[in-house]
Amino acid sequence: MKIQQMKIHEIEIHEIQIQIIRKPVKNLRLSVHPPDGRVRVSAPLFMSYKKITGFVESRISWIRQHQERIRNRARETELVYAHGQTHFFQGQPVLLNVEKTTGSHSLIVQGDEFCHQSENGNPADPPNSASLQVRVRNPQNPEQVQRALEKFFRMHLTEQVQKLIARYEPILGVRVKDLGIKKMRTRWGTCNYRTGKIWISLEMAKKSPRCLEYLVVHEMVHLLEPSHNARFKALLDRYFPGWREVQKELNGGDPNGSLEWVRKVD
Ligand SMILES: [Zn+2]
């Protein structure tokens, strides 16, 4: 049997370039791709051209909407992960200092608590500001910067949370069986009472050590009491006095003040 080849060609509909890929599929499939909003249609091998273009035409406004959204997102990433931007680390603002490297990507934290450095005293910088020096192969590529930053946040956060767990396990008399760090959209952390696994949001790397400590204790107390009932609150009062204030701080929004979702301690 001869292997059927994919046939690819480009058309333009309402000033939108569309790539049509014919392949052995049953249905038409329309997709819009980052970073520039490229449009692709995969179509069955023998479907008529008219049917394909008719399908695309009926979805022009959907395409435009998605292109707009994808391009906006790309612009935001570009802005957020650019040299000189302020990010938050351990509850403090740090300046992003992006540099080019020919070696592997790395990230160095410089500043107040880490190792004091007031480099060339840029008057626009807040006094004693800390900086995150990110070395990537292509400083113009925001995804590279983002990846390096997130890798660093993940490593740092894992280390901090592990220390907190080790400290609180004998105090609470519980055992955390597993720890995971991941990007979460609506939660700072979660705890599985049955499996003993705790998940912490990667965003917590941006929060103050006090907030992180509270979150870890909160999740660990869930191993004693899964719901947010009176008993749970009494346990928190005992093991983390002043938790209400910290919870308020944590739920008060994102320190970045950016387009973040409201997160809750769960
Ligand atoms: Zn909770």
Query: What CATH number belongs to 86-265?
Result: 3.30.2010.10
Tokens 């959209």 sit at which residue?
185
Evaluated on CA atoms 143, 149, 152, 154, the torsion sign reads: negative
Res 192: pLDDT: 92
Six token digits for residue 122 = 């840029």
Q: Which of the residue ranges 96-100, 102-106, 238-242 would you say has the lowest mean pLDDT?
A: 102-106
d(C-alpha 210, C-alpha 216), whole Å: 10
Letter string b/e over residues 177-211, b meaning 16 or more CB atoms within 10 A of that residue's CB: eebebeebeeebbbbeeeeebbbbbebbbbbbebb
Q: Which band of pLDDT confidence, cut at 50, 70 and 90, is reported for residue 108?
A: confident
- Cβ partners under 8 Å of residue 92, min gap 6: 111, 112, 130, 208
Distance in Å, CA 146 to ligand 1 centroid: 29
> Rounded mean pLDDT of 191-216?
94
37: region left, alpha or beta (phi > 0 left; psi from -120 to 50 alpha):
left
For residues 21 and 6, the answer to whether their CB atoms sit within 8 Å is yes
Distance in Å, CA 258 to ligand 1 centroid: 25
Q: Which of the residue ranges 96-110, 135-149, 163-177, 244-258 would you say has the lowest mean pLDDT?
A: 244-258
Distance in Å, CA 187 to ligand 1 centroid: 10
Q: Which band of pLDDT confidence, cut at 50, 70 and 90, is reported for residue 104?
A: confident
Query: Is residue 115 exposed (0-12), middle (13-18) or buried (19+ Cβ within 10 Å)?
Result: exposed
> Rounded mean pLDDT of 209-223?
95
Q: What is the mean pLDDT of the chain?
A: 83
Q: DSSP label at 120?
A: G
Neighbours of ion ligand 1 (CB under 5 A): 266
The total of other beta-carbon atoms located within 10 Å of residue 139's CB is: 18
For residues 207 and 90, the answer to whether their CB atoms sit within 8 Å is yes
Q: Which of the residue ranges 70-74, 150-154, 178-182 would you say has the lowest mean pLDDT?
A: 70-74
Distance in Å, CA 221 to ligand 1 centroid: 8
Distance in Å, CA 108 to ligand 1 centroid: 33
Q: Which band of pLDDT confidence, cut at 50, 70 and 90, is reported for residue 261?
A: very low
- Cβ partners under 8 Å of residue 128, min gap 6: 111, 112, 116, 118
d(C-alpha 264, C-alpha 256), whole Å: 16
> Rounded mean pLDDT of 239-258?
73
**pLDDT digits 0-9 by tens, 112-152:** 444 333 334 343 444 456 888 888 998 888 888 999 999 99
User: Residue 213: is its pLDDT beyond 80?
Assistant: yes
Tokens 């351990």 sit at which residue?
90
The domain segmentation of the chain, as residue ranges, is: 7-75, 86-265
For residues 138 and 123, the answer to whether their CB atoms sit within 8 Å is no
Q: Which band of pLDDT confidence, cut at 50, 70 and 90, is reported for residue 259?
A: very low
> Rounded mean pLDDT of 197-201?
95
Q: Which of the residue ranges 54-58, 118-122, 228-232 would you say has the lowest mean pLDDT?
A: 118-122
- Cβ partners under 8 Å of residue 233, min gap 6: none
> Rounded mean pLDDT of 169-195?
93
User: Residue 72: is its pLDDT beyond 60?
Assistant: yes
Distance in Å, CA 27 to ligand 1 centroid: 45
Distance in Å, CA 257 to ligand 1 centroid: 24
